[in-house]
Amino acid sequence: MSADLPDVLRPPQHQGTEATARQVIRVLCLHPKNSNSVLFKQELEVVRTTVEKNTLHQAFVFEWVFLDAPNLLAPHKDPEGRVWWQLADGARSFTAEAYFGDDKSLDVVESTIKNVDLRPKNYSAEGQEHGEGHDAPTATGILGFSQGAMMGAIAAARNPDQIRFAVLFGAAVPKPYEKVLEDFGKNSSTARPDVLSVLSREDSVNPPDMGKWVGDCLNPESATVLWHGEGHQIPKDPEKLEEIAGWIANRVVIVGTEAPGKAEATSSRFLGL
């Protein structure tokens, strides 16, 4: 497993349907602390399959792009445990005055986001790629859990013209970037992602009110909060998963109907695809 190349889940093949070009929606997925792209892919399997089931007959398909954080949690001890930043002893992400290694992580995430190609790839209903693409916009979303959700929020605030929607599970305030988020929330002239914060009042790791604050900074007028009762984890309740999938599907439909000029300005392609 390489920390330099994204792990990509491409659209599945669908048999027996008319071969028409389908817009590709790419979702950049950022794992939590002490995890990696392979483990997070497994953790998100039910979310992904629920989203794809709810959008099976739509004019778009999903590509899920999983990145590995470039920092090891404990070098020479557990090579599979990665972090977007490291902390001083006893510090938490929402109390630390400084992070270590966050600059490398931002380079990885932002170089992926900014590898823009305005000829988006499209797939037929059978899952076959059309190399030339067409004028339909390609949307870029970001999805993260815990430390990955905080990194996703930072990246969304720093790249508002590329990130169209954000799904943040169990985020807290990334303390060294608190002012970045606060200033972004006050900037009335910037583009904003649609935001879904998935939070739990039973979260004993990250204070849920902080997660709501992060979402409100990214989109003060219309950030959405979905509450669940399962603590600091991605919920497994089928009803909650259906709500998450429905929210993502609605955001994608909205993006697909925007004016071409707006869509083209925010179309993105991913490194290594």
Q: What is the CATH number of the domain that holds 77?
A: 3.40.50.1820
**What mean pLDDT do residues 148-162 have?**
97
Least confident interval from 11-15, 42-46, 78-82, 104-108: 11-15
Residue type, 189: S
Q: Is residue 48 part of a domain?
A: yes
Q: Does any domain span residue 144?
A: yes
From start to end of 119-189, where are the E strands?
Answer: 122-123, 129-130, 140-145, 165-169
Tokens representing 182?
A: 């606060």
pLDDT band for position 182 (cuts 50, 70, 90): very high
With 0-12 / 13-18 / 19 or more C-beta atoms within 10 angstroms meaning exposed / middle / buried, residue 169 is buried
* pLDDT confidence of residue 25: 86
Higher pLDDT, residue 207 or 114: 207
Q: Phi-psi bin for 238: left (phi > 0), alpha (psi -120 to 50), beta?
A: alpha
pLDDT reported for residue 131? 42
Structural domain span for residue 195: 7-265
- Tally of structural domains, the chain: 1
What is the predicted pLDDT for the residue at 140? 86
Percent of the chain with pLDDT over 90: 63
Give, for 66, the enclosing helix (H) or strand (E): strand 60-67
Nearest to 252 by CA among 150, 137, 157: 137
Classify residue 2: in a domain, yes or no.
Answer: no
Asked whether residue 185 is assigned to any structural domain, the reply reads yes
> How distant is the alpha carbon of residue 121 from its chain centre?
19
Residue 107 tokens read as: 């380079």
| Range with the poorest average pLDDT among 101-110, 119-128, 182-191 | 119-128
- For residue 232, being part of any structural domain is answered with yes
In a domain, 271, yes or no: no
Mean pLDDT value of segment 94-111: 97
| Confidence (pLDDT) at 243 | 96
Residue 273 within a domain? no
**Residue 33: C-alpha distances to residues 4, 92, 100 (Å):** 17, 12, 14
Amino acid identity, residue 112? T
Could you tell me the two tokens for 214?
Answer: 């992060």
Least confident piece of the model among 52-61, 135-144, 159-168, 187-196: 135-144
Beta carbons within 8 Å of 87's beta carbon, 6+ residues apart: 93, 96, 99, 100
Residue 61 is predicted with a pLDDT of: 82
pLDDT of residue 21: 59
Give CA angle at 200 (234, 78), nearest 5°. 45
Looking only at the bridges linking them, the beta strands covering 22-30 and 140-145 are parallel
Q: Between the ranges 30-34, 113-117, 261-265, where is the mean pLDDT highest? A: 30-34
- For residue 12, the model assigns a pLDDT of 52
Rounded to the nearest 10 degrees, how much is the dihedral formed by the CA atoms of 96, 99, 105, 107?
120
112 φ, ψ (degrees, to nearest 5): -70, -45
Mean of per-residue pLDDT scores for the chain: 81
Nearest 10 degrees: CA dihedral of 271, 1, 69, 251? 50
- Percent of the chain past pLDDT 70, that is, above it, reads 74
Domain membership of residue 272 (yes or no) is no
Task: Give CA angle at 177 (229, 138), nearest 5°.
Answer: 75
